[in-house]
Structure formats: C-alpha cells, structure tokens
Amino acid sequence: MEYQTHTLANGLRLVHLPDNRPVAYCGLLVNTGSRDEKEHEHGIAHFIEHVIFKGTTRRKAYHILSRMDDVGGEINAYTTKEETAFYTAFLNPHYDRALDLLSDIVFHSIFPVNELEKEKAVIIDEINSCKDNPADLIFDDFEELVFHKHPIGRNILGTPRQLQSFTRDDIFRFMNRNYHTDQMVICSTGQIKFSKLVRLVEKHFGDIPERVRDWHRDPFTGYRTREKINRINTHQAHCIMGNIAYNVMDQRRLTLMLLNNLLGGQGLNSRLNLSLREKHAYAYDIESTFTPYFDTGVLSVYFGTDKEKLDKSIKLVHYELNKLRTKKLGTLQLRRAKNQILGQIAIASENRENLILTVAKSFLLFNRFDSYKVISRTIESITSSQLIETANEILDPNQLSTLIFQ
C-alpha cells in the first residue's frame, strides 16, 4: 500500500492513501486518552470528545453538526485509553469543508457552559446504559482489576459524580497538557491530488502554534493476579480471565495476535467457540481479546453462560488454554491459522474509515505504516515453537486473573 506523507512546520503530520472511490475519509488522531487523566479528571478525555462539537469561535453546535450532513457526509469521534479521534466521511469534492471543520472543532472550540451541562446528562445516561449491560461492563471492571490503581485501569467514561464537577477551565487545562501538535496525525484516503491536499491542510492547520510534548506516560508495573466475584441479578453468569501481555512496541505482538485468533478470535472455528458453543452448547458469547497498549497489554477470555454451567465452562476454557501450552500445532494447523488471520487482515483493510485510523495510529507510534506484504511476511515467519513459547508465557494459569459476575 503506497501512502504519501507531509509534515507541517508545527509538527502536525499528514498521511494520505490515494483511492479512486467516490467517498473520501479524513480524520485527526491525537495521542491522548483516559490514561493521561489525573485522578480528579477521570472521564474528562471522553467528555471533551463529546463537547468539542458544541461550539467554536465561528460556529454554534447546530452549524457544526450540519456542516457535513448538509452535503451527505458524516462526522464522528471516539476516545480510547490512549487516543482520541475525530473523523469524517464525505464525497471527494468536499475535502476543503471537512478539513476546515476538523481544524475548527479541535483548535477553536469554546465549550459553552450551557452546552457542557446538557452533555453531562447525556454521558451520565451513557454510563448508566453501560452498567445495565454486564457483558460490556465486565471488560472495564476486569482491566481495573488487572491494572490495579493505575490510570490505564480506569474506565473511559468516568463517574457521574466526577463528570458533574468538570468546568471549562478543567477542559482547557487537560487540552493544554495533552493536545500537542507533535502528537497528532491527520489521515486521509480519497481521490485528490496530494499537492492539493497538502495545500488544504496547510491552509487549515498551518497557522496552529507548535506545541511539543515534554513528558512521558507513567508505565504500568507490579502486576499480580487477582480474583473477584460480583453478585448481580441476571439470568446469566459472566466470566473473564486473563493476564497482562505484550505492549504495542513488542515484536512478539503478532505472534500473540495469531495465538489469540486461534484461541477465540472472530472465526467461528476458534477453539473456544468450537468447544463451549458448538460441542457443549454452554455459551452463546465466547471470545478472546488481545489489546496492546503503549507500555503493557492484556489478553482476556470472556464468556457468558447459565449460572449452573459456569464451573464446567471455566474448566473447558482452562482445558483449551492447556492444549495451546502443551501441544504444538502441526504443519497443516499452522498453515490454516496463518491463512485465516491474513484473510481477516486483508478484509478489514477494505473498511477505509478503519484503515485510515489504523494508519494514523501507526504513524503516531512509529512514524510509519507497515504494508500488508510486510505484515504477511512477519506472520508467515512465525513458528509452532514461538506460538507454544508465547502460550506458556501469557496463558500460564498461575498468572491469570479472574472476574466473575453471577
């Protein structure tokens, strides 16, 4: 995949993927998220993602929301523990409009007080909605258990009490401390000459003052296993177990991605799905997830089941984990596992919106994006011995933490 890049004088980076389709995508990714909040700021990164659409020096909330909708486009945003993204989809002729709006909301928002108070009520409703869904809530609570008392363990949404305390000054303080031009990437894919795109980006972002980050995130250390049971009034029991894992910089992360996909990835033929769902009919939802962060990571196995089947399900999960630790994959099994994940990566890249955000994150961290060919070569080089070595390190039963809702 051929991409084009440009760096503005203020440190902002642009990465563009040429594409001949009629719909273009453009976004701005910021290397900051909920883990960069101070304790009294819990939830403010996500709050900013919401209220940044509520007014700028040039536009009221209605005009911001209508700017892309008026031409059939879309604008959206999300917050994770380590990044905040603002992105748009639109027809190719509207690049100028999209870049103008992104620049306006990120660098010229004024956060009207009346709008802040209204949006607090919206987010509190979002928090309560999450609490009503134990299958979602358990993932947040598990990372809080694993990353005990560290900012990366806190959930992204915050708490109603903390949310109610936020002021405009709190927002500006957080943004001044975290929104640095050298920690931002503008990403694009569409049918536009790169020289024209550079001119538009310089037009809308070139006069933003340079701001360089002079601090580093506090790394997570001191993991120890924990087990916890929460009593809830639901028909199902929910269980999640896992361990800390490789960070995003670790060269072994692709080996763990392959192992995770084999264990409980999106394929219907994952080992956990075949065992707990297809063979024993214990669970409808069963999956494993690997999430790498800047300095650490987490691999977890989740399932929901009838309460009377909980113990049997846990035993089956441990049985599958033990097989990955003790039995090497044969040549045919390894070939199938590699073919599957390579196909999934290729298909996922067809989603252009997700693709540009993935490219932008890669540039934030590495200032490059590895092509499918490079990733493919790395995955093809993984051996059965490397997989079993990784399984013994990450899936060691003595290193697994467990959280149960029942």
* Radius of gyration of the CA atoms of the chain, in A: 22
Say which CATH number the domain at 96 has.
Answer: 3.30.830.10
Regarding whether 231 and 130 lie in a shared domain, the answer is: no
On whether both 179 and 314 belong to a single domain, the answer is: no
As a whole number, mean pLDDT of residues 260-287 equals 96
Q: Distance between CA 174 and CA 180 in Å, rounded?
A: 11
Number of separate domains in the chain = 2
Whether residue 150 is contained in a domain is answered as: yes
Is 240:301 a contact under the CB 8 Å cutoff? yes
Average pLDDT, the chain: 97
CA distances from 50 to 29, 70, 169 (A): 15, 20, 16
Domain assignment present for residue 350? The answer is yes
pLDDT in tens, 319-340: 999 999 999 999 999 999 999 9
Classify residue 13: in a domain, yes or no. Answer: yes
- Shared domain for 87 and 166, answered yes or no, is yes
Together in a domain, 162 and 266: no
Tell me if residue 227 falls in helix, strand or coil: strand
The answer to whether position 210 is within a domain reads: no
Q: Which amino acid is at 67?
A: R
Please provide the DSSP assignment of 274-338 as one string.
IIIIIIT--EEEEEEEEEE-SS-EEEEEEEEEEGGGHHHHHHHHHHHHHHHHHSPPPHHHHHHHH
Residue 2's pLDDT band (cuts 50, 70, 90) = confident
Determine the Cα–Cα distance for residues 343 and 146; give it in Å rounded to an integer: 32
How many CA within 13 A on the CB side of residue 41? 21
Q: Is residue 200 part of a domain?
A: yes
Task: Determine whether 225 is exposed, middle or buried from the number of CB atoms within 10 Å of its CB (0-12, 13-18, 19+).
Answer: middle
Contact 65, 52 (CB under 8 A): no
In a domain, 221, yes or no: no
- Tens digit of pLDDT for each residue in 110-165? 999 999 999 999 999 999 999 899 999 999 999 999 999 999 999 999 999 999 99
Q: Does residue 212 lie in a domain region?
A: no
Q: Are 342 and 334 in contact (CB under 8 A)?
A: no
* Three-point CA angle 204, 206, 207, nearest 5°: 95
pLDDT over 70 percentage in the chain: 100
Q: Do residues 257 and 130 both lie within one domain? A: no
Q: How far apart are CA 50 and CA 124, in angstroms?
A: 12
Model's pTM, two decimal places?
Answer: 0.95
For 342-357, the pLDDT digits (tens) are 999 999 999 999 999 9
One domain, residues 336 and 386: yes
In angstroms, the CA 353 to CA 348 distance is 10
Q: In terms of residue numbers, what domain contains 269?
A: 227-405
Query: Is the pLDDT score of 201 beyond 70?
Result: yes
Domain's final residue, options 205, 238, 264: 205
Size of the chain in residues: 406
Same-domain check for residues 381 and 311: yes
Which candidate, 117, 157, 116, places its Cα nearest to that of 133? Answer: 157
- Say if residue 157 is in the same domain as residue 247: no
Q: What is the pLDDT of residue 186?
A: 98
Q: Are residues 273 and 185 in the same domain?
A: no
* Domain co-membership, 10 together with 116: yes
Of 141, 172, 205, the position where a domain reaches its end is 205
Query: Which conformational region is residue 77 in: left (phi greater than 0), alpha (psi within -120 to 50 degrees), or beta?
Result: beta
Q: Is there a single domain that holds both residue 270 and residue 191? A: no
- Write the pLDDT tens digit of every residue in 43-70: 999 999 999 999 999 999 999 999 999 9
Which pLDDT value is given to residue 36? 98
The arithmetic mean of pLDDT across residues 36-46, rounded, is 97
For 163, the enclosing helix (H) or strand (E) is helix 160-164
Give the alpha-carbon dihedral of 262, 266, 271, 277, to 10 degrees.
170
Which of these three, 173, 205, 237, is where a domain ends?
Answer: 205
pLDDT band at 233 (very low <50, low <70, confident <90, very high): confident
Same-domain pairing of 259 and 185: no
Nearest to 296 by CA among 196, 358, 222: 222
Residue 216 lies in a domain: no
| Residue 1 reports pLDDT greater than 70 | no
| Local confidence band at 87 (pLDDT 50, 70, 90 cut-offs) | very high
pLDDT beyond 80 at 85: yes
Q: What does the pLDDT read at residue 234? A: 87
The model's pLDDT over 376-405, given as tens digits with 9 standing for 90+, comes to 999 999 999 999 999 999 999 999 999 999
